[in-house]
Structure 1
Amino acid sequence: MRRPTPLLSAAGALCLLAAGLVGPLTPVAASTAGSGGSIQGLQRVGTVNLRGLPGATVPQAGVRARPEADKQAQQASVALPDPATVPVTRLHAGATGFSGLNAVQSGRLNGFDVEPPDQGLCAYQGTVMEQVNLAVRVYTDRGTALTRPVSLNAFFGQAAPYDPATKRYGPFLSDPRCYHDAQTGRWYSTVLSIDVNARTGDLGRHSSLLIAVSATSDPTGDYAIFAVDTTDNGKGGGPRLANCPCFGDQPRLGADANGIYVSTDIYPIQGLFDSNGGGLYAVSKTGLAAAASGSGAMPPVVSIHVGATKVDGHPANALQPAQTPPGGSYAPDTEYFLNTPDFNGFATMGGQGAHAVVLWALTGTSSLGTATPRVTLTHAMLPSQPYAPPVPARQRSGPHPLGASQNEPLPRIESNDDRMQQVVYNGGMLASALNTGIGTGRTASRDGIAWFVVRPGATSGGGVTGTVARQGYVAVDGGSVVFPAIAVNASGAGAMVFTLSGAGYYPSAAYTGFTMASGAGGSVHANGIGAAPADGFTCYPPYSDGACRWGDYSAAVAQDASTIVMATEYIPGPRDTNSNWGTFATRYTP
């Protein structure tokens, strides 16, 4: 196990993670909710108005990075895929794009630079909300800004991460996601939080999942902020797990006709690398919407320790919940998830490849709207094409002033691992994709994408069934493609977005067409062309040993019955001393 990356440097002090100042939650009487679940309380912790939040800048006080284990190139346990490549072209008819949030904006809002950004994105009928570490902004789908950039901490009603005037630490929030729900007409956002000592910035002993829900259909207006206890030390209604107090890493956000679902990976706040597997939180979306507008009581939250289930000998983790496009068909009384049996630990640890995907079904979701929800979670292993641990991706040589000032060579960009990325459900099918190493032999030379279309079967009796109906790869000659996200419209046509990088490419935003009927096909289109190499502080010691932290995920969504909006990290022009990342959003009509 390698050294974790320090997370905050301010006034010479280092800490691993600074997070939310939400107080302890009042537990409710626990009751079973199927599959070992329990009922937790939901606490309302504040209200914000996005238009009214300040966009003021603050003095820079250092840098902050999400912790990770330094990654070694790993030998795959499966034969590496060596797929045919497709050509790279520029933007084509049917797509437009614009630059989104960047490191300079986030740094000025929060008082320090943050890496990686982690792409949150949601959209509906011409309006787009973008969230990253640590900023939020709303645009039209043509790129016209509707709000100022706002600190993510302010959006979730939390104190500033560091106040230079008082020299006190506030929450460190991480891994934002957002989702617009066409049924309720509301905007839902999630982020993880861990308490800190306000005077020292040291880690606390309590964590939360924060949920922001718009009070109306206006994404620039009022939001109610809720919290669910994720400490998992037997308090707050959650389970009592080993090595806790814990926190829920990488909360992943999905929805069906009945509920909002957040999947996390459970790690000790102090230990970081002793995984308890995954956690799952399910709550009525109409109940959340009513509570946000003040017209209903707090809905119960079903909490399930997914890690209690072993998959291929490891605690199950990294479940990706599905989302359904506007006008698309929901699964009856069921939310689906996909993950892989190739267990991956904190950030980039673990994994040797696999040749299967895992389908999960949470049935009984209509009961989430009652006072006593009863849901059941089951899973099935489905044979698939092979995939393998990815390797850090090369990037085109160019000016890297931060690295040059430290006599460091041109870095690569981190591709993390082969866990499942964003899942979309429509027309009785699920689609998703993941990073995979590609090449010959057992050690990858570059990265591609493995994609899957899964057909769920019956969920009656003892569990769920299903098959991998279609599958394939995306690869380009002489380069890597990493961090895919798939979205389709109600007709099942859409796109897959990702970052493109290689000896001939600065890190760029790119995409390819995707349909539920045939999967990915055709050229890779580089629409957000990178202007320089990645050259941020996480590219170099003491934060890494030669690979830059990159956005741990991209995002894509159907904003109406036909049009896709998607975004990922790339390198634009603006930079400050410590960082130069940016995001690029694309509007695409298949």
Structure 2
Amino acid sequence: MKNRLLLAVAVMAFATSAMGATPVTLKIQKGATTTPVSSQIGGAPITALEQDPAMSGGDADSGDGNDLGDKPVTNRSIAHGRAGVNRMGNAKRAKSSPELLGGFDGLNFHDQRYSNNGNQFSVEPPDQGLCAGNGFVLESVNDVLAIYDSSGHQLVGPVDLNTFYGYPAAINRSNGQYGPSITDPSCYYDASTKRWFQVVLTLDRIGTTSALAGTNHLDIAVSQTADPTGAWIVYQLPVQNNGTQGTPDHQCDLGFCLGDYPHIGADANAIFLTTNEFSFFGDGFYGSQIYAISKKALASWSAAVNVVLFNGGDPSIPAPAFTVWPAVSSGGQYAGAHGGTEYLLSSDAVFYDSGVSSTIWLWAVSNTQAIDSAPGTLALSVSSVGVQQYAVPSSLAHQKPGSTPLRDCFAVPGCAPNYLGYPNHVYPAPRDLAVNDSRMQQVSYANGKLWGTLDTDVLLGDGSHGSGINFFVINPNSGGLFANGTLSLPDANLTYGSAAVTQSGRGVIAFTVVGPNDYPSAGYASFDAKIGAGDVHLAAAGAGPWDGFTGIPYLGGDRPRWGDYGAASADGNTIWIASEYIAQTCTLAQYLTAPLFQCGGTRGALGNWATRVSAIGL
């Protein structure tokens, strides 16, 4: 793989923070308004075109000759060796969950596939976006959203994201025309402006064909008021960075960059969006991009909005910039030093052949108060922070055995050819699922500290490798650690950890629990600066194994996807968490009962993922 990013990283003392690249100033224009409206659920149970042809195949080809499906649009995996750190799981399973105020099942595969009267593709994984505030909870996944009140009553939804953002359907099954391809949703409620921000990555087509044009943009929807069920305005931020549409030219292979894996944060003055920049059509990773956008202008629906871009792939930056995650704040609590500062965190183990590191990177964008008057004066700095050793998880996660009708249909002679339109193929039962790599996950700024998590390799009790969660609480002024450790179980994987923290410094880490004795379940643990992470609780136990299409030849490439991220959101003294889990189970006979493949409206032909939204009182 071509890689312009610095791979030989010299670890420096915190006090010698290096200044980053010169910022590029841009402007984005106001687009159309939109209002979320529940879409009709329906359509054929399965069609000849279940996956977006431009996006099928997963993250990367294993090169083992077993991938019989289409290749993905780009290779978005950069993880190197996976050596492990030999840390044994040591957390306890809690016998009760007294802090759990309640919860409800959120969006699921059935909602996704059959929204907009079935003019959707089968999509896996869901990619969890969650935000909460002003008595509302907004959940968005690939490729639908829903809005709930704080009691869990669904007010609007599911709403397919193509319709919400004002585009034609993902696939119009009556005429075969394609709309833009939307992915990677995230959202944020900003208490200071009382506005909701919903962000996705949108890939343009060539006309209404399946072919991708190469142009891609972050669509930023901003609510008009503190009520997310009302009107929103949509802004488009082009991220192909090839000199077109006002973007700088980063010289990505074959002419177009891709703004992958966008995530959102904020300080008092700006909304921050970050992306992982890959070549769209070719090979190469070009460094994370950091976009600072005027919060005041977005919140007031201004006709033109200032944007400042820092290129994390610039050679002057000493850190390997991959998944540089911006911090979110609860209750309008922001860092005011140096004219307003936004902090971000990233990790670097994926860049080493060993897959192991003891360093994370602290990024800071300062003078954000000048975003409207003098945007070119914003400044970027980056410093290393020494932490407990972590490593890229080295294996897939085993599941507790149970009913897997999609897998069974492939195994039973004649079932897959007759019902699904694919050849028979026998897979292990149940199939393993993928855990996260060691990229940074959600970052919070609360009580004057930075809080973050990432997945790490651990040893399980039987001597096999598994996944745990490395957590840290950092003093952003000195780089010192208040807390740092690994949350892990001896008999199960913990993966896709996501932390949120109240203003007083009490937090929760949400994650998926999965192992030989656990169906994929929604879990959580307490999180504070003195004790670190507490016992493992289950917000909702899984009802059966994951039974999705990714990792099956002909369908989803070689990698059985799960994730790619969870979400957590602090609202006063309540923390809302959302994790992917499995909420249903059914037999092959039930799967083949009309309406086909839906098991009473709980799944689709090619997947059964679900999400669990829970409220934790602190």
Fold conserved (TM > 0.5)?
yes
Alignment partner of 1:63 is 2:51? yes
Structure 2 counterpart of 1:582, from 610, 614, 618:
610
AA of the residue aligned to 1:326: G
Distance 1:366 1:257 in 2: 8
Alignment partner of 1:84 is 2:87? no
Per the alignment, in what secondary structure is the counterpart of residue 286 of structure 2?
A: coil
Alignment partner of 1:265 is 2:284? no
Alignment partner of 1:404 is 2:395? no
Q: Offset of 1:148 from its aligned partner?
A: 2.4
Alignment partner of 1:563 is 2:551? no
Alignment match, 2:364: 361
Cα deviation code 1:182-205 (max 9, x no counterpart): 000000011101111244301212
Structure 2 counterpart of 1:511, from 516, 524, 529:
524
Distance 1:411 1:379 in 2: 41
CA contact (8 A) 1:44 1:225 kept: yes
Alignment match, 2:140: 131
AA of the residue aligned to 1:563: T
With over 3 angstroms needed to count, the CA separation of the structure-2 counterparts of 1:297 and 1:414, relative to structure 1, is: same
AA of the residue aligned to 1:134: D
User: What are the within-5 Å matches in structure 2 for residues 77-476 of structure 1?
Assistant: 79-89=85-95, 91-109=97-115, 110-242=119-251, 243=253, 244-271=255-282, 273-291=283-301, 296-309=302-315, 315-326=320-331, 328-332=333-337, 333-343=340-350, 352-370=355-373, 372-390=375-393, 391-406=395-410, 407-409=426-428, 410-439=430-459, 445-457=465-477, 465-476=478-489
CA contact (8 A) 1:311 1:341 kept: no
Per the alignment, in what secondary structure is the counterpart of residue 486 of structure 2?
A: strand
More deviation, 113-122/315-324: 315-324
CA contact (8 A) 1:40 1:303 kept: yes
Alignment match, 1:20: none
Q: Which runs of 5+ in 1 are unaligned?
A: 2-32, 458-464
Q: Offset of 1:178 from its aligned partner?
A: 0.3
Larger RCO of the pair (alpha carbons < 8 Å, separation 6+)? 2
Distance 2:548 2:354 in 1: 27
Per the alignment, in what secondary structure is the counterpart of residue 413 of structure 1?
A: coil
TM-score by length of 2: 0.83
Q: Which runs of 5+ in 2 are unaligned?
A: 2-18, 64-78, 411-425, 585-601
With over 3 angstroms needed to count, the CA separation of the structure-2 counterparts of 1:426 and 1:93, relative to structure 1, is: closer
With over 3 angstroms needed to count, the CA separation of the structure-2 counterparts of 1:456 and 1:205, relative to structure 1, is: same
Distance 1:90 1:412 in 2: 28
Per the alignment, in what secondary structure is the counterpart of residue 105 of structure 1?
A: helix
With over 3 angstroms needed to count, the CA separation of the structure-2 counterparts of 1:576 and 1:90, relative to structure 1, is: farther
With over 3 angstroms needed to count, the CA separation of the structure-2 counterparts of 1:115 and 1:78, relative to structure 1, is: closer
AA of the residue aligned to 1:321: P
CA contact (8 A) 1:512 1:520 kept: yes
Alignment match, 2:15: none
Distance 1:90 1:204 in 2: 52
Alignment match, 2:587: none
With over 3 angstroms needed to count, the CA separation of the structure-2 counterparts of 1:216 and 1:343, relative to structure 1, is: same
Distance 1:308 1:167 in 2: 42
AA of the residue aligned to 2:456: T
CA contact (8 A) 1:534 1:548 kept: no
Per the alignment, in what secondary structure is the counterpart of residue 405 of structure 1?
A: helix
With over 3 angstroms needed to count, the CA separation of the structure-2 counterparts of 1:527 and 1:38, relative to structure 1, is: same
CA contact (8 A) 1:309 1:315 kept: no
With over 3 angstroms needed to count, the CA separation of the structure-2 counterparts of 1:47 and 1:169, relative to structure 1, is: same
Per the alignment, in what secondary structure is the counterpart of residue 154 of structure 2?
A: coil
TM-score by length of 1: 0.86
CA contact (8 A) 1:290 1:297 kept: no
Identity %: 34
Number of equivalences: 538
Cα deviation code 1:108-164 (max 9, x no counterpart): 014321100000001003310000000010012221111121101111122211101
Per the alignment, in what secondary structure is the counterpart of residue 238 of structure 1?
A: coil
More deviation, 425-434/59-68: 59-68
AA of the residue aligned to 2:276: D
Alignment match, 2:22: 36
Alignment match, 2:545: 533
Per the alignment, in what secondary structure is the counterpart of residue 402 of structure 1?
A: helix
Per the alignment, in what secondary structure is the counterpart of residue 432 of structure 1?
A: strand
With over 3 angstroms needed to count, the CA separation of the structure-2 counterparts of 1:515 and 1:40, relative to structure 1, is: same
User: What are the within-5 Å matches in structure 2 for residues 486-501 of structure 1?
Assistant: 486-501=499-514
Q: Offset of 1:309 from its aligned partner?
A: 4.4
CA contact (8 A) 2:441 2:453 kept: yes
AA of the residue aligned to 1:270: F
CA contact (8 A) 1:411 1:546 kept: no
AA of the residue aligned to 1:248: G
CA contact (8 A) 2:349 2:391 kept: no
What RMSD over aligned residues (CA atoms) do the two structures have, in Å? 2.4
Per the alignment, in what secondary structure is the counterpart of residue 130 of structure 2?
A: strand
With over 3 angstroms needed to count, the CA separation of the structure-2 counterparts of 1:75 and 1:378, relative to structure 1, is: same
CA contact (8 A) 1:121 1:178 kept: yes
Q: Offset of 1:222 from its aligned partner?
A: 0.5
Structure 2 counterpart of 1:485, from 480, 491, 498:
498
Per the alignment, in what secondary structure is the counterpart of residue 86 of structure 2?
A: coil
Structure 2 counterpart of 1:550, from 562, 566, 575:
562
CA contact (8 A) 1:328 1:491 kept: no
Cα deviation code 1:282-316 (max 9, x no counterpart): 1111111112xxxx34121111111114777x742
More deviation, 132-141/328-337: 328-337
CA contact (8 A) 1:90 1:527 kept: no
